[in-house]
Structure 1
Amino acid sequence: MNKMLQREGISARALEIADKVEAFVRETVAPYERDPRQGAHGPSEDLANELKALARAAGVMTPHILEDGGHLTQRETAAVLIRSGLSPLGPLACHTCAPDEGNMFLLGKVASPELKERFLTRMVDGSMRTAFFMTEPAEDGGAGSDPSMMLTTCKMDGNHWVVNGRKTYITGADGAGMGIIMAKSDDGACMFLVDLPHPAIRIERVLDTIDNSMPGGHAVITIDNLRVPADQMLGASGEGFKYAQVRLAPARLSHCMRWLGACVRAHEIATNYANRRMAFGKPLIDHEGVGFMLAENLMDLKQAELMIYWCADVLDSGAQGGAESSMAKVAVSEALMRVADRCVQCMGGQGVTADTIVEQVFREIRAFRIYDGPTEVHKWSLAKKIKRDWKAAQPA
């Protein structure tokens, strides 16, 4: 894999971390892929804790966050997170998974020293999972791809905020120790940090979804008169969307990183199968229909990798990178969908069994094309930017 993935512009320290993560995921985590402690709603807490203990022992827990509290650059983070994704269980073990990775990034950027001490420390050491409460049920008319439709409210009552509403697709809420909740005040969107579980936050149900790599699954939540101390708000009332943008562009990109790693591994498995499996007197790879699919995989994997590093460089420049992360999310998720589909096809019947991770990677990538903004929403956003830029370029 090291020959395949980019190493230019990445510090020796970051490459050492990345190589260490890759060895850990391949040698220690991959054997757990058929562990029965995985169900429709993700790996069990018992399995998650066992994997995290192994990661701590190997020195690869939260590897993109350094011992001094610093964070690798986005380009360096890509080198690490791609390798953590070589197994669907790798991000869980190394604590580079969603939504924790994005939540850690957000708190590291905007939380007060007191909130960092209270919450971020336990997030970084892997002792606490978290959730991000933004999306709302479609049947309520709430916020999905359009966050301005948010219906969850928050109102001041003394030195507390009172939050009411419903949320859905809340990844990892079941079993999380902290939640970041978005709600709307008279000033606009707000974000709150809340200890979980909490009696005012009720899990209605955990949805049965096509993907199952994330502990706790994706839950529908009712928030009923939740009282949150005022000092547990991130920033000021009305600043929630600004902070969401701080989180969303890097989080979109880190999804791309992890799933690129998974598709690299799926391609390796399909390649091994195509070289060993005989049909009509020769290995499958010698049949153009199969060999060409694997060749197309190489091109899509490389294009996805280059798109990730390009967007990482934009974020490292200090730019918000909204448009760039939209382009990367669309290009990478669509390319990886093609890769995962070809891997299944190359392996025939074996590709749709759970005997390898190829079948799971296919399902996970299909979900990835929707979460963190469906392809069509990102294209629509980019089209609006094209129009704005065109208007701005016209002579007065």
Structure 2
Amino acid sequence: MNIQDIRKLFPILDQEVNGKPLVYLDSSATSQKPIQVIETVEKYYSEINSNVHRGVHTLGTRATDAYEGAREKVRKFINAKSTQEVIFTRGTTTSINTVAGSYAAANLKEGDEIVITYMEHHSNIIPWQQVAKRTGAILKYIDLQEDGTISLDDVRAQVTSNTKIVSVMQVSNVLGSINPIKEIAKIAHENGAVMVVDGAQSAPHMKIDVQDLDCDFLAFSGHKMCGPTGIGVLYGKKELLENMEPIEFGGEMIDFVHLQESTWKELPWKFEGGTPIIAGAVGLGAAIDFLNDIGLDNIAEYEHKLSAYALDKLSSVPGITIYGPKDPAKRAGLVTFNLEDVHPHDVATVLDAEGIAVRAGHHCAQPLMRWLKATATARASFYLYNTEEDIDKLVEGLVKTKEYFSDVF
């Protein structure tokens, strides 16, 4: 399938913004949805809609089959051993909070260590800060190389026999750097720690094999990978999940309720209290089908080419600073940058007037912004529906931005 055929599957791209054809370069924040996903969610609500795991009537059975069928698609997508290791959540944030609030809270004590990096998204910092406060554990940070990559020597320097949890994003949402998760997991395990992976920026763009990575937990969101908002996944090794307590209580997740105590359902349902995000899960299943049809390897290869093209073209813009690895082979499909003497919010505003959507701000990564010595940055992020022409328009827009502010000041 060629790029123009792919673009036709995304209805939202066929529109104008501020009188200009839309150039959507904010897929790291949320991806657009192909018609297959939109139609699947619509069909669920118009033909299947019912609660799951409860009724024996036809619609209830159809809904349960669709919901659990989506779980099996996720299992295959990440190569988990069992659907018992796949828990549906609201997204990456909820997934990481579940690990911190359940596993970490029960297993950490004063003096234990949690190790993360300076590049982490707030959703992979704040839960660990909070559990460290509650348990007396110590939160430590792996330093970054000058280009924003991670050195395994720095990992070894921070991960010790006192480390119980290592939690690292697989792809940085700011730097675009791809982190050596398999090697970090090996170091963690050699020191008796569990490995948590934030896969929010990797699951949409590359193949993930949790058994090959040997990670203990993996969190990712559906809305960044062509699926609906409000649905995400927590993968966990079965032996860990079985010994964890749920952090949400109510219907769906119980086995027996007595007057003074209750027991929980088996995995994965003990972590899915209340009516689950059924339509979201079904939509995520459709998104996985779509990505598999295109091929994750094909997506990764295409995005590497876009990144290389973008790095080359953006480097010609006067006064631009580009953050992250210069080698496109070491980064995913996004470029974060600043224009000299122009605030990134102003950059984004001028680009929006040209129909170009980019992200501006701290990208939920304030510690990394301080490490970069920047208050904020602009970010263009690509996906399988973007083209080199989109990047050309971005470059033209940045040149216009630079010229406009040079004239003003």
Query: Aligning the two structures, in what range does the TM-score lie when normalised by the shorter sequence?
Result: under 0.3
TM-score scaled by length of structure 2: 0.24
Q: Which has the higher helix share?
A: 1
Higher RCO, 1 or 2 (CA under 8 Å, sep at least 6)? Answer: 2
TM-score scaled by length of structure 1: 0.24
